[in-house]
Structure 1
Amino acid sequence: MGRYVLKLDELGLEIAQIAFPAALAFTADPIASLVDTAFIGQIGPVELAAVGVSIALFNQVSRIAIFPLVSVTTSFVAEEDAIGRVSPEEEDSESLETGSTVNSENKELIPQNYSAEGPCKAKSPVSSFGIDKIENERRCIPSASSALVIGAILGLIQATFLISGAKPLLNFMGVGSDSPMLGPAQQYLTLRSLGAPAVLLSLAMQGVFRGFKDTKTPLYATVAGDVTNIILDPIFMFVFGLGVRGAAIAHVLSQYLISVILLWRLMKQVDLLPPSIKHLRLGQFLRNGLLLLMRVVAVTFCVTLSASLAARQGSTSMAAFQVCLQVWLATSLLADGLAVAGQAILASAFAKKDYEKATATATRVLQLGLLLGLMLAAVLGLGLRFGARLFTSDADVLHMISIGIPFVAGTQPINALAFVFDGVNFGASDFAYSAYSMESLCSLIIPCLFLLSSSHKFIGIWVALTIYMSLRALAGFWRIGTGTGPWNFLRNL
């Protein structure tokens, strides 16, 4: 099947139409962060390192809430939308029970007594007045309302947590009370945390649109916000003389703009006020979200620990690590576009019990992921040596960046496969396996990080991160390759 990897058949076009805009949206925010980094690098290496620690801390705390929320929302919405589009003649009494997952180990996403028309039936008086057309235009997707409620609550909690605990959290990250990085780091983190509610809400809404297989709307909103951020950066930082505070304010304003745009678009497509609280199905959201929360806490701890270990080696090491990490994540997130396409298409296929399409989709997105990773490795291996000067002119920092380039470039194929495997397994609603396997892997990586960073310093951290991503990819391959869990139907093919 390898020769069909780039074939633009019906499946290939469906993947491309979802993956390409999603990939661009995923990379827009890291690119905006890279622009922040480039502007801040012109102020000095201390400020660059300080903002690097703050961005790492903010992003990792955000991921604890964002990743479970967005992933569960995408699967819920894709399944509800798919089931809602299946005609009554095509449905059977078990479609909703087995559509969410064919693995008895996992809890169903959509309960047995749920009907895609269930919440809408409560609106029958409206339909009786002849407004069926409006009902069809504004879809009844309870998970969309659930995502917004949970996103708003988590955003407020995150903002409160980061603002009130900025100094001790930065101390934990290796920025001591006597460090010159503490002042600018605390200023940036406190101001940027004001945007946490907007970040959580916007990403929850992106999860809804991805469930509809619409990744263009989030792309347009994200680009509008990030272009605003890039324009405001030099104005606040240099014209108004706010320095790192200006960078944080520009970023916060851009995030609220993204949220407003997405909410405006979503209200045109979805009825966000279900007939009653029970239709929000918060219980199913929280059960599956907690499984992914376990997973993302493990992932977050590993990445945050690596940044903390780099910070403890000094501002030069941290500044170089920040640049390498931002590039590493920005390019690797291109593969997340394929992961989103795989998740949305697979969730819909499993809901309809179309296992032939599920198999073809998983195969295609994994092949594309490997190809993308190889291309990224070649581009970064050649380009980053010349592009590093965009972020800093400090000779010591540039030397450290050159040491990290082989790892940043060489791990791209591994990273791409790991991200795509995540999307494939989420599309199969295999949240339990994803959670428990990641917990096991991180229990091995944490001591590895301490050992290698102690013995080999900056290089040791990147060796440990390479091992970490390799194990993530291997875990995804094992699940599908052995035909276990939701993939047990593969044994009969």
Structure 2
Amino acid sequence: MPEASEPDERVPPKRVLGLAVPALGVLAAEPLYVLVDTAVVGHLGALPLAGLAVGGVVLSQVSSQLTFLSYGTTSRTARLHGAGRRGDAVREGVQATWLAVIVGLVVIVAGQLLAAPIARVLSGDAAITDAAVSWLRIALFGTPFILITMAGNGWMRGVQDSAKPLRYVLAGNGISAVLCPVLVYGADWGLEGSAIANVVAQVISASLFIAALVRERVPLRPEPKVMRAQLGLGRDLVLRSLAFQACFVSAAAVAARTSTEAVGAHQVVLQLWTFLALVLDSLAIAAQSLVGAALGAGASKRARGVSNQITVYGLVFGCFLGVVFASVAGVLPRVFTSDAAVLGQIPHAWWFFVALQPIAGVVFALDGVLLGAGDAAFLRNATLLSAAVGFLPLIWLSLAFGWGLAGIWTGLSLFMLLRLATLLVRWRSGRWAVEGAVRV
């Protein structure tokens, strides 16, 4: 830890906001599109909404499992950028894009084979399974494009170019948000129309990121050595993502076995949670870029100063969001569904969701700091511990004892509290602040 006589360096708030605000637009675009999708499908009835809930969880967990293409790329790219090696930083993006294509094609093939059995395990209901599979089989074709977009966001954040990713993502999701109700209602394609609109969004955004790489005029050929290094960091992030995947898939499965109305309510609140998590993560994106660049430049005091700033900002922002969503508890759920039974279930999860916002603000901020530092092994261990001790036991006890949504969201609360405790200990230790263009 630094001595009292050597205070940590800080960066101007304007610089943090200059990275965080465009990142907020990027992060918010996808969940905002999903919220539009949920609202459109929700008015078809409880069964299509339940099908979207199950299918959406499967697709989102596949992409969440591969977030190293974004976060790992940011960490490696930011260090190289901070060390003055922009060409090498952009080449990280090229290799991450190749990985995205390869992995995405594998996911399409595996997903088509496994969509039905996975949906059947999650839903426990034949009608929900059929609805989920019909959506999922189409939406899976967007997977390579989802992953290319992740890689593109990763390298652009690393070189502190946050404006272009915002334009690229908004272009895809904006067109698709208009297309979704047209296909669902106008073309009368129902739930399948939602899936097609989703794929269109991913194709447009990914194409723009590929064009940006071409304009950088760096070699575009695959480099297995670099890809292996990315996969080394990715291993820890994948295991961390597996913990999240186990938690949220289990929650969806337990909700589906509670009732069709419960899984619909869980879908509404979970999508809002996902949206706000990514909103809060906009500050963490700024932390990743600034912390990685500072450590790459050998400025550990500046990295610690940024971490202090981002943590405070995250707490304040989380408190603000908690107040806002507490005030709209009686109004906002009706935007997503008119089903009285689903609306009756939503309060069982809503107040957990509201109360967790300040905690989430700090947790996501510290996640960003440690991801920017490349401290992936610690994040892996902390997340696995929190899932095994906190979330998963309460989820399955909820199924056994019929605790419903209240039990599910109690598990999420314990999970977040355990993550908060472990992250605070690591942050205070300062052992994450390892200097150099490559973390060793």
TM range (shorter): over 0.9
- Aligned pairs, number: 424
CA contact (8 A) 2:184 2:191 kept: yes
Please give the residue correspondences for 1:71-150 in structure 2 after superposition, counting only pairs within 5 Å: 71-83=71-83, 85=84, 116=85, 141-150=90-99
CA contact (8 A) 1:320 1:401 kept: yes
Please give the residue correspondences for 1:161-240 in structure 2 after superposition, counting only pairs within 5 Å: 161-176=110-125, 179-240=126-187
CA contact (8 A) 1:418 1:473 kept: yes
Query: Which of 235, 252, 255 is the aligned partner of 2:199?
Result: 252
Query: Which of 454, 458, 476 is the aligned partner of 2:400?
Result: 454
CA contact (8 A) 2:82 2:295 kept: no
Cα-to-partner distance string for 1:401-431 (whole Å, 9 max, x where unaligned) = 1222211111111112111111101112111
The equivalent residue for 1:97 is none
Gaps of 5+ in 2: 1-9, 436-440
Partner Cα separation in structure 1 for residue 202 and residue 223 of structure 2: 29
Q: Which amino acid aligns with 2:426?
A: R
1:385 and 1:487, CA in 2 relative to 1: closer, same or farther beyond 3 A? farther
User: Does the alignment pair 1:152 with 2:97?
Assistant: no
1:482 deviates by 3.0
CA contact (8 A) 1:22 1:219 kept: yes
1:207 deviates by 0.5
CA contact (8 A) 1:139 1:270 kept: no
Please give the residue correspondences for 1:247-286 in structure 2 after superposition, counting only pairs within 5 Å: 247-273=194-220, 277=223, 281-286=226-231
Q: Which amino acid aligns with 1:162?
A: G
Q: Which amino acid aligns with 2:76?
A: F
Cα-to-partner distance string for 1:463-490 (whole Å, 9 max, x where unaligned) = 11011111112211110123345479xx
CA contact (8 A) 2:22 2:163 kept: yes
Please give the residue correspondences for 1:431-442 in structure 2 after superposition, counting only pairs within 5 Å: 431-442=376-387
The equivalent residue for 1:413 is 358
Cα-to-partner distance string for 1:80-132 (whole Å, 9 max, x where unaligned) = 2222x2xxxxxxxxxxxxxxxxxxxxxxxxxxxxxx4xxxxxxxxxxxxxxxx
CA contact (8 A) 1:454 1:460 kept: no
User: Does the alignment pair 1:328 with 2:273?
Assistant: yes
Q: Which amino acid aligns with 2:78?
A: A
Q: Percent identity over the alignment? A: 27
TM-score by length of 2: 0.93
1:174 and 1:230, CA in 2 relative to 1: closer, same or farther beyond 3 A? same
Cα-to-partner distance string for 1:322-349 (whole Å, 9 max, x where unaligned) = 0000011101211111111101111111
Please give the residue correspondences for 1:451-490 in structure 2 after superposition, counting only pairs within 5 Å: 451-455=397-401, 456-486=403-433
Partner Cα separation in structure 1 for residue 312 and residue 156 of structure 2: 25
Q: Which amino acid aligns with 2:258?
A: Q
Q: Which amino acid aligns with 1:302?
A: C
Partner Cα separation in structure 1 for residue 172 and residue 124 of structure 2: 30
Partner Cα separation in structure 1 for residue 423 and residue 341 of structure 2: 39
Q: Which protein has the larger Cα radius of gyration, Structure 1 or Structure 2?
A: 1
TM-score by length of 1: 0.83
1:10 deviates by 4.8
1:222 deviates by 1.0
The equivalent residue for 2:6 is none
Partner Cα separation in structure 2 for residue 485 and residue 258 of structure 1: 34
Q: Which amino acid aligns with 1:451?
A: L
1:266 deviates by 2.7
CA contact (8 A) 1:140 1:270 kept: no
CA contact (8 A) 1:418 1:472 kept: yes
Partner Cα separation in structure 2 for residue 70 and residue 269 of structure 1: 19
Q: Which amino acid aligns with 2:418?
A: L
Cα-to-partner distance string for 1:247-272 (whole Å, 9 max, x where unaligned) = 10011011100111122223223514
Partner Cα separation in structure 2 for residue 297 and residue 405 of structure 1: 25
User: Does the alignment pair 1:361 with 2:303?
Assistant: no
User: Does the alignment pair 1:290 with 2:235?
Assistant: yes
**CA RMSD after TM alignment:** 1.8
Partner Cα separation in structure 2 for residue 10 and residue 424 of structure 1: 14
1:369 deviates by 0.3
1:327 and 1:140, CA in 2 relative to 1: closer, same or farther beyond 3 A? closer
Q: Which amino acid aligns with 1:199?
A: I
User: Which is further off, 323-332 or 257-266?
Assistant: 257-266
Gaps of 5+ in 1: 1-8, 86-115, 117-135, 489-493
Partner Cα separation in structure 2 for residue 378 and residue 298 of structure 1: 29
The equivalent residue for 2:34 is 33
Partner Cα separation in structure 2 for residue 51 and residue 468 of structure 1: 25
